[in-house]
Chains A and B, each alone.
Chain A
Amino acid sequence: MSLIRYQAPQLSNWPSFDRLSSLRNDLDRLFDLSWSGRDSGLFSGWSPALDVFDEKDHFVVNAELPGMKKEEIELSFQDGVLSISGERKQSTEKTEGETYRSERYFGKFQRSVTLPVAVDSSKISASYKDGILSVTLPKSEAAKPKQIQVNVA
């Protein structure tokens, strides 16, 4: 039994479908939104894909965050919820020339995931490689699966 919120996988390139699947995130964001402008992300937001794996004694949470700097990614863990947020800044030097295609999203994002069992928050570690953030969350001792030997007389 996992208590992770369901979100439809983002199988489509249609922005409107992405919007639907990230609706919950957008609603979450609505409450701490400062209406700072067009990049507020409410309707044009970026919802990086998240994967969660159960590796027996730890969880791995992977997030696809291409083209960021390590310092631009923020991670926090509170009450069993891992939050990943940050802001991707446009790195390309501004050219006076024409833009032919602009499909990449720049701006803020925020994702969170509820872990189904207790994890040891002091031992959480993360790495960022090839545009994928990988967070390792060791399960707390009590939550680790244990094998119990049953001796039949």
Chain B
Amino acid sequence: MNPTLTKSEPQPVRNGGGGAPRVEYATPPANILESKDGYVLEAEMPGVSKDGLEVTVENGELTILGRRTAAQPKGREVYRESRQVDFRRSFELDPSIDTAKITAKIDQGVLTLHLPKAEAVKPRKIAVNS
């Protein structure tokens, strides 16, 4: 078993010094699939466009941050279920992932990341010479 892409809990970020209110984030639901060449990660962040998106890789940890860019209606709120908070989630990366080749796109509120494995770790067929 190879424990890849284990989720680490989103770290609440503090504004400035102690006593400042905590910034609250929603955890976007995510799917992670592995293929021969790498991993595909999809995360749901409704209301987030390309401009509100930040994807960072640091110390083997991938962090996705989505800021809601959609304008809220100004009228009286009759009824609300959505949480108007930004999305944030971190994932620990499998060391086999080539971080330089990670690509991201967002379409209708779903972020799709392609995380290719480094050439060295891809499965390779070796021809046997008789």
Mark A residues whose CB is within 8 Å of B. 2, 4, 7, 9-11, 13, 21, 49-56, 59-60, 62, 64-69, 92, 95-105, 113, 116, 128-132
Bound Cα distance A2, B91 (Å): 43
8 pairs of residues in contact across A and B, judged by CB atoms under 8 Å: A9-B81, A10-B83, A49-B81, A52-B78, A54-B75, A60-B73, A66-B109, A98-B33
State whether A104 touches B34 (Cβ < 8 A): no
Measured CB to CB, the nearest residue on chain B to A6 is B79
Q: Which of A50, A52, A104, A116 contacts B42 (CB 8 A)?
A: A104
Binding site for A on B (CB under 8 A): 4-5, 7, 27, 29-36, 39-40, 42, 44-49, 69-70, 73-83, 107-110
Contact B35 A104 (CB under 8 A): no
Q: CB distance A53 to B75 under 8 Å?
A: yes
Mostly, the B contact residues are: loop
The answer on a CB contact under 8 Å between A101 and B30 is: yes
Q: Are B75 and A98 in contact (CB under 8 A)?
A: no
Interface of A is mostly: loop
Whether the pair B33, A92 counts as a contact (CB closer than 8 A) is yes
Q: A92-B42, A131-B109 are in contact. Are A103 and B29 (CB under 8 A)?
A: yes
Interchain nearest-CB distance for B62 vs A (Å): 13
Residues of B within 8 A of A49 (CB): 81-83
In the assembled complex, the Cα of A84 lies from the Cα of B33 at a distance in Å of 30
Given known pairs A130-B49, A131-B44, the reply for A50 and B109 (CB within 8 Å) is no
- Known pairs A52-B80, A59-B78, A95-B33 / 4 extra A-B pairs, C-beta < 8 Å: A4-B78, A11-B83, A103-B31, A131-B45
